[in-house]
């Protein structure tokens, strides 16, 4: 009986530690692209009480740096096409013309994978290169251009985002990246 209780106690602690969003994650692939990436802010997107994903926004040390990354650890499983379609809707919400959002959505649908709970999608912005996408740390695609990057990251960082609380958490005490040309 005592061994069973000890085993269950150890199992519960292990499950808690492994599932805790506060556990440090391997972000070395972000560091490879954005040297010295530092967490600016993080938060959780929920919809109707359901946890969708945990997001973390990374920047280089200074608040005026141009390179940044958004890392999302999914709490639910989604098809890649569903993520692409939702991205189109969110882009339109922030003011992207429908025809342009659809073109970008088709590009995203061509490479966004299905994700399972616990997997990550990461997008990294690098000036003159555009947005580079990763799935669980493996590079999957790149879309060039500042216009796409502004529209894509605007889903989370634009003042017209559908998730203003998450935006506030991601920005923390820091400023928007220069890509958005908004004074700090």
- Segments making up each domain of the chain, as ranges: 25-180
Q: Is the dihedral of CA 80, 134, 153, 22 positive or negative?
A: positive
pLDDT at 34 over 60: no
| 158: Cα within 13 Å, side-chain hemisphere | 17
* CATH architecture of structural domain 25-180: 3-Layer(bba) Sandwich (3.50)
Contact in structure between 79 and 114 (CB atoms under 8 Å): yes
pLDDT at 87: 97
Categorize the per-residue pLDDT at 20 as very low, low, confident or very high, splitting at 50, 70 and 90: very low
Q: What are 43's two structure tokens? A: 């938060």
Instruction: Give pLDDT tens digits for 35-59.
Output: 568 899 999 999 888 999 999 999 8
Does 131 or 6 have the greater pLDDT score? 131
Q: What are 129's two structure tokens? A: 């290169």
Task: Measure the CA–CA gap between 150 and 148, rounded to whole angstroms.
Answer: 6
Contact in structure between 30 and 58 (CB atoms under 8 Å): yes
Name residue, tokens 């690098």: 126
Instruction: Give pLDDT tens digits for 85-141.
Output: 999 999 999 999 999 999 999 999 999 999 999 999 999 999 999 999 999 999 999
pTM: 0.81
Beta strands in 48-90 (DSSP E): 50-59, 68-74
């Amino acid at each position: 009986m005592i061994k069973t209780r000890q085993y269950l106690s150890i199992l519960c602690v292990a499950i808690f530690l492994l599932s805790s969003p506060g556990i440090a994650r391997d972000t070395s692939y972000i560091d490879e692209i954005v040297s010295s990436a530092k967490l600016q802010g993080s938060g959780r997107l929920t919809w109707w009480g359901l946890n969708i994903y945990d997001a973390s926004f990374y920047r280089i040390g200074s608040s005026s740096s141009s390179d940044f990354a958004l890392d999302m650890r999914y709490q639910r499983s989604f098809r890649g096409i569903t993520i692409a379609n939702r991205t189109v809707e969110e882009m339109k919400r922030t003011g992207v013309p429908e025809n342009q959002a659809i073109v970008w959505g088709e590009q995203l649908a061509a490479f966004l994978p299905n994700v399972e709970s616990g997997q990550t999608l990461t997008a990294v912005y690098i000036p003159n290169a555009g947005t580079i996408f990763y799935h669980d740390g493996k590079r999957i695609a790149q879309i060039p251009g500042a216009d796409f990057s502004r529209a894509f990251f605007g889903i989370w960082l634009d003042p017209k985002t559908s998730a203003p609380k998450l935006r506030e958490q991601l920005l923390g005490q820091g400023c928007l990246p220069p890509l958005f040309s908004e004074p700090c």
